[in-house]
Amino acid sequence: MAKPTVLVTRKLPEAVETRMMELFDARLNLDDVPMGRAELKAAIATVDALVPTVTDTIDADIISAAGPKLKIIANFGVGVNHIDLAAATAKGITVTNTPDVLTEDTADLAMALVLMAPRRLSEGERLVRDGKWTGWAPTQHLGYRINGKRLGIIGMGRIGVALARRARGFGVAVHYHNRQRIADALETELEATYWQSLDQMLAHMDILSINCPLTAETKHLLSEARLKRLPKHCFIINTSRGGIIDEAALAKALRNGDIAGAGLDVYEGEPKVNEELLKLDNVVLLPHLGSATLEGRIAMGEKVIVNLRTHADGHKPPDRVLPSDF
């Protein structure tokens, strides 16, 4: 039987690519140059499956170019905001993602930013590297203590919960806003305080972490008006998607001292970073590293393979994403 043809848009870890070559007629991107729209449209006209990443915009126009054989988009990543799910579903294309396997890595990175931003760790590193450090001083480079602070988590899904567990270990009080309240037992374990009203929670937090997916409802959830509700000493952490925060308004708030600082791993127009943010010292800027561990990326690849394989075998792939999921 002919192997399914699978278009992989970016270079994946060696172990994943090798297994894909064994199981599928895989079209790999060995140079890792992101595909342009025209190239992508031409390529998906003839394949059975597409494996995109967050760097590909799979909108309705791209999906309209899919050939009749294309029945599955197996995303390499958990976030699917770059895929038009409604257009895919309308065309009978199944969309899958890679949940669970990047939860711990992403929560580690969020916790790292929770520590880095208030303690001004990036600034400190820059000082040393730039040769400007003149030695220890009692009042030099003072940040804020982490222990005893209130962390407000927006989006208490897998990653939000994993971050909450870490934060508890650092003596941080967990607060959260979520569409649904989490189970009683989990709330008790985390000693978490639920806020039905996001606006009310914002006004009381020392640190705020974004852990919800980007959807039509969460686009600019942290609008200019909401940012104004935060106390001046508050820090914002974002490891989810840049579009959840109005980035221009965030830069303005950071510049004016309306909030104390931020730790960002994601941006509205990645890989472009708002010029204003680049000028500011009170923001830690990372290059979308949330799931960037070798183990995590191999596990994501394994999930993609399982989704493709079960689909090719005529079964429902385990990690199906439906338009109503997000």
Least Cβ distance, residue 315 to ligand DGY (angstroms) = 23
Which among 228, 209, 215 has a CA at the least distance from the CA of 113?
Answer: 209
Please list the residues that pair with 175 across neighbouring strands: 152, 193
Indicate the SS3 state at residue 299: helix
Which among 212, 290, 292 has a CA at the least distance from the CA of 244?
Answer: 212
- Measured in whole angstroms, the distance separating CA 147 from the mean position of its chain's CA atoms is 26
Active site residue ranges: 241, 270, 288
Least Cβ distance, residue 129 to ligand DGY (angstroms) = 28
Least Cβ distance, residue 1 to ligand DGY (angstroms) = 32
End-to-end CA distance of the chain: 37
Angstrom distance (rounded) from CA 292 to CA 53: 13
Least Cβ distance, residue 299 to ligand DGY (angstroms) = 11
Note whether 240 and 155 are within 8 A (CB): yes
Question: Following DSSP, what letter does each residue of 140-175 receive, concatenated?
Answer: TT-----TT-EEEEE--SHHHHHHHHHHHHTTPEEE
The residue among 178 and 211 lying less far from ligand DGY, judged by its C-beta, is: 211
Least Cβ distance, residue 197 to ligand DGY (angstroms) = 28
Angstrom distance (rounded) from CA 311 to CA 287: 33
Least Cβ distance, residue 122 to ligand DGY (angstroms) = 21
The residue among 79 and 160 lying less far from ligand DGY, judged by its C-beta, is: 79
Contact residues for 137 (Cβ-Cβ < 8 A; gap 6+): none
Least Cβ distance, residue 51 to ligand DGY (angstroms) = 12
Contact positions vs ligand DGY (CB under 6 A): 54, 77-79, 102, 290-291
Contact residues for 128 (Cβ-Cβ < 8 A; gap 6+): none
Residue 207 exposed, middle or buried by CB count within 10 Å (0-12, 13-18, 19+) = buried
Residue 108 exposed, middle or buried by CB count within 10 Å (0-12, 13-18, 19+) = middle
In this structure, what DSSP letter does residue 182 have? P
